[in-house]
Amino acid sequence: MSLRTIVPTLGFLVFTAGAASAADSGLNIGGFVDTIASASDAKDHGGDNPYYPSADTSGGVYYDMQAAVELRLGYKLNDKVGAKADVEWNNGTYNGHPTTYLEQAFVNYNFTDTVSLTGGKFTSYAGWISADADGLYRINAGPLVAMYQPELVGGALNVAPNKQLGISLFLVNGLGLYANPSTVAGNADSTNDNPDKYLSAAFDVVFTLEDIGTLNAEFGYDYHGSDVAAWEFGLNATIKPKAAEGLTLGAEVLYEDFSDDTGAAAWSGDSSGVGLAAGAGDGNRLGAMLMVNHTIPIGVPASITVMGQYVSTDVDANADKVNTEEISVALLTNPTGDSKFGFNAEVAYQTTDPGDNIPGADSNDSWWLGVEMIAVIP
């Protein structure tokens, strides 16, 4: 299992990692095929099932079958220039993505061995949890990813002064911390694929602890004029203690602050369905994650993951904070002994407390059960 791909941090390394080369043409091909069978039940109390927010689950258990294919193409023109494109197809329910969409498409130019420039569309810098199924320590990503941005469109300057330190500076169309930020001014939506007359900035710093893990700090400022703006700051870490073989620890804290003087903006990525509508005004959101993963002896390569996540949203339009908590346990196995094939299972329980924001509403409690088969290409 790998962590969220930090792209384009150290972007000049991505064209040779995790893909098969087609002869000597410089073309790299990779990806995954993922299938998930799941079931979920929500005690609504006036709210939606967070695992299937578009479904009417008031009648009982909701079942779903998901399938996704992602193809990753990398092309190394020479030692200086390379390009990468990731395209995903799914049945429309997989991780909330469109049926077919372009996840990444960027060009990278290496000025030197330590400095590169990346331009195009690429995975967001923010967040510890993997953007793709083959990088997760579980099946379901959980509520915290609602605080992550969608893919970014723009450029990044990447600097790696040594093997321990990687720094990326971003200038992009928008970070996607909120939706429709400039309707009043007549500008485009902040979906990151659409141009806007404002540019947003961010940086990502990764420090590698040799043979132990990584530490990551990130900051972004999403600006759409003097009336609408948001910023976020995140810290995350991955630790593999030398004294405890087979143990992996993961942790993340992410904080967002939102300001809207126009009354038109809405905070994007709402996992609770409560309180992030247009006109919410100023607010903030805090997310946290703690994970323990450990190998287990069951005759085939396997590990177990226990993860807890927490998201708290506080906006002016709400009487109370909206708090969401989730606990999940996942069993990850490679029954054929090949790490490129996984047969996994997970059970998760999530609860959202809307406070007094919805009259008569109580906590929304849901469980989720899933089984997954995933094959990594090649």
Distance CA 198, CA 304 (A): 45
Output the pLDDT for position 317: 65
Mean pLDDT value of segment 330-351: 96
Output the pLDDT for position 62: 84
Give the pLDDT band (50/70/90) at residue 193.
low
Judge whether 5 lies within some domain: no
Q: Answer whether 142's CB lies under 8 Å from 348's CB.
A: yes
Give the pLDDT band (50/70/90) at residue 273.
very low
Give the pLDDT band (50/70/90) at residue 133.
very high
Paired tokens of 248: 């992996």
Judge whether 33 lies within some domain: yes
For tokens 């061995």, what's the residue? 113
Mean pLDDT value of segment 73-80: 90
Output the pLDDT for position 167: 93
Output the pLDDT for position 238: 95
CA 264, 268, 274: angle at the middle one, nearest 5?
85
Paired tokens of 28: 């790299």
Judge whether 4 lies within some domain: no
Give the CATH number of the domain where residue 284 resides: 2.40.160.10
Output the pLDDT for position 223: 77
pLDDT over 90 for what percent of the chain?
49
Mean per-residue pLDDT of the chain = 80
Specify the range with the lowest mean pLDDT, choosing from 40-49, 84-93, 99-108, 136-145. 40-49
Specify the range with the lowest mean pLDDT, choosing from 67-71, 91-95, 338-342. 91-95
Specify the range with the lowest mean pLDDT, choosing from 113-122, 255-264, 272-281, 365-374. 272-281
Specify the range with the lowest mean pLDDT, choosing from 152-161, 325-334, 340-349, 367-376. 152-161
Specify the range with the lowest mean pLDDT, choosing from 3-12, 44-53, 108-117, 258-267. 3-12
Judge whether 35 lies within some domain: yes
Closest CA to 70 of 111, 36, 104: 104
Output the pLDDT for position 84: 93
Judge whether 158 lies within some domain: yes
Task: Give yes or no for residue 76 having a pLDDT over 70.
Answer: yes
Task: Give yes or no for residue 45 having a pLDDT over 70.
Answer: no
What's the structural domain count of the chain?
Answer: 1
Cis amide prior to 301 (ω within 30 degrees): no
The total number of residues written for the chain in this structure: 378
Mean pLDDT value of segment 23-50: 79
Paired tokens of 197: 């007359």
Distance CA 209, CA 26 (A): 31
pTM exceeds 0.85, yes or no: yes
Domain range for 275 is 11-377
For tokens 């039940």, what's the residue? 41
Q: Identify which has the larger pLDDT, 195 or 86.
A: 86
Output the pLDDT for position 180: 43
Judge whether 1 lies within some domain: no
Q: Give the strand pairing for 152-162 and 165-172.
A: antiparallel
Judge whether 137 lies within some domain: yes
Three-class HEC string of the chain: CCCCCCCCCCHHHCCCCCCEECCCCCEEEEEEEEEEEEEEEEECCCCCCCCCCCCCCCCCCEEEEEEEEEEEEEEECCCCEEEEEEEEEECCCHHHCCCEEEEEEEEEEECCCCEEEEEEEECCCCCCCCCCHHHCCCCCCCHHHHHCCCCEEEEEEEEEEECCEEEEEEEECCCCCEECCCCCCCCCCCCCCCCCCCCEEEEEEEEEECCCEEEEEEEEEEECCCCEEEEEEEEEEEECCCCCCCEEEEEEEEEEEEEECCCCCEECCCCCCCCCCCCCCCEEEEEEEEEEEEECCCCCCEEEEEEEEEEEEEECCCCCCEEEEEEEEEEEECCCCCCCEEEEEEEEEEEEECCCCCCCCCCEEEEEEEEEEEEEEC
Output the pLDDT for position 139: 96
Output the pLDDT for position 272: 43
Judge whether 175 lies within some domain: yes
Output the pLDDT for position 59: 57
Of the CA atoms within 13 Å of residue 171, those in its CB half-sphere come to: 6
